[in-house]
Structure 1
Amino acid sequence: MSTDPSEKFVHAEYWDQRYLERDEGQFEWAKSFANVRPFFEAHLPPATSTPKIVQLGCGNSTLSKDLFDLSYHSQTNVDFSEVVISTMRSKHPEMEWQVMDVRKMTFSSETFDVAIDKATLDAMLYGSLWDPDEEVRNNVKAYVDEVARILTPGGRWLYITWRQPHFLRPLLQRPDVWSLDVHTLQDEGGSFEYFGYVMTKRS
């Protein structure tokens, strides 16, 4: 049993309570849109191709709206917190918002061209990543398998995190399902490194 206090992040009840108690407005767990925009510009299909995008664990980030303003209008936003989904649906009714656990999504297979994760997987990674707890491995496997299932052939999973590649590659690799590339995200502020992972599903 883990004693890591961040274990609470894997439970919807924690987030519902947090969103009820804190008036955070909008909160970014990993970089502002200005910092990550070059990564998305490099790896998203052009907006003119109207890709179907799913935002995984969207929280109250501005990312969905920022991409919507760049003409990515076909976005479905999911989070397992009913509180935050209700709030974001009221703020941005132009997009779709659904209460859903990313480890057991109800979408049909091969529904989305792009899946985006901005630190959602990180919330599942508590305790030692040198030897993850069985619950951590099970949660990550369930999530990664679901992302692979809902992506169309040739689709991409774009994941932004501060987690080091030597920890994440073993958890994310699916050689028969997708290729995996890692990019270091540049930052002028001198903060520690962030990474952009690109998983491209094989056709």
Structure 2
Amino acid sequence: MDLPPSNKSYQDVNYWNERYSVEENYDWFKTYKDFVHLLERHVKKTDRILMLGCGNSSLSESMYNDGYKHIVNVDFSDIVLKKMNQRLPSMEWITMDIKHLAFLARSFDVVIEKGTLDALLVDEDVWHISDKGAEMMSQIMENVHHVLSQTGKFISVTFAQPHFRLPLIRKTFWEVNYETFGDGFHYFFYVANMKTESPEGER
């Protein structure tokens, strides 16, 4: 697939609809086998999992085939979700913008994103995130916080280095750890746990 005319295209559903209409599969930042050793430390086979911005990645399919049977996939592209549902009807595929997650509170044990936040931030100066970008990230993190159980985890797979990504995640009740994977070029595997609730009025 050719690169888009500008980085802003990665935030445009029309770009993705056009791309997904001809593209069958693409995995950003490696595949499941490259970081399964990290994932299995933090995710149980019985967990209810929400996959943010699933696209046409093989991640959900690989996890499902490995025993993770409770996966809900969301993306803002109808086209890709229809194609994925035809290919893998055993999972849920729901059209939804991750900036406006419409799930009940405490619905999931784990929320995973792989490259979705990078796509949303691709037009930002990583050293100086704009007010709009920071507000968007805060909104997404608040949405993730809302749908996670009290013992839930948010997992982010990305090439964003800690001094860029950690401040954006930690703003919303997280205790965050990370590991790296990959040969030569390192990718990052962030795990954000819900903090123990503070006494009323303290945050």
- Measured in 2, the distance between the counterparts of 1:39 and 1:59 equals 22
- Counterpart of 2:50 (choices 31, 42, 54) is 54
* Per-residue CA distance 1:128-183 (angstroms, 9 max, x = gap): 111112222222111111111110011011110001110111111036x2211111
Residues 152 and 193 of structure 2 are in contact (CA less than 8 Å); yes or no, is this contact kept in structure 1? yes
Do residues 196 (structure 1) and 189 (structure 2) align?
A: yes
Gaps of 5+ in 1: none
Q: What amino acid is the match of 2:189?
A: G
Paired residues for 1:107-118 under 5 Å: 107-118=103-114
Q: CA RMSD in A?
A: 1.5
Q: What amino acid is the match of 1:12?
A: V
Paired residues for 1:177-196 under 5 Å: 177-185=173-181, 187-188=182-183, 190=184, 192-196=185-189
What percentage of residue pairs aligned between the two structures are identical? Answer: 33
Q: What amino acid is the match of 2:94?
A: Q
Deviation at 1:33, TM superposition (A): 1.6
1:13 corresponding residue in structure 2: 14
Q: What amino acid is the match of 2:29?
A: A
- Measured in 1, the distance between the counterparts of 2:194 and 2:11 equals 26
2:199 corresponding residue in structure 1: none
2:149 corresponding residue in structure 1: 152
- Measured in 1, the distance between the counterparts of 2:192 and 2:94 equals 24
Aligned positions, number = 191
Pair 1:120–1:170, CA change in 2 (3 A) = same
2:61 corresponding residue in structure 1: 65
Q: What amino acid is the match of 1:142?
A: Q
Instruction: Say which SS state the counterpart of residue 103 (structure 1) adopts.
Output: helix
Deviation at 1:202, TM superposition (A): 2.9
Do residues 30 (structure 1) and 23 (structure 2) align?
A: no
Gaps of 5+ in 2: 197-203
Q: What amino acid is the match of 1:180?
A: V
Residues 152 and 194 of structure 2 are in contact (CA less than 8 Å); yes or no, is this contact kept in structure 1? yes
- Counterpart of 2:139 (choices 129, 142, 155) is 142
- Measured in 1, the distance between the counterparts of 2:132 and 2:11 equals 10
Paired residues for 1:97-176 under 5 Å: 97-125=93-121, 126-174=123-171
Pair 1:183–1:55, CA change in 2 (3 A) = same
Structure 1 ranges of 4+ moved more than 6 A: none
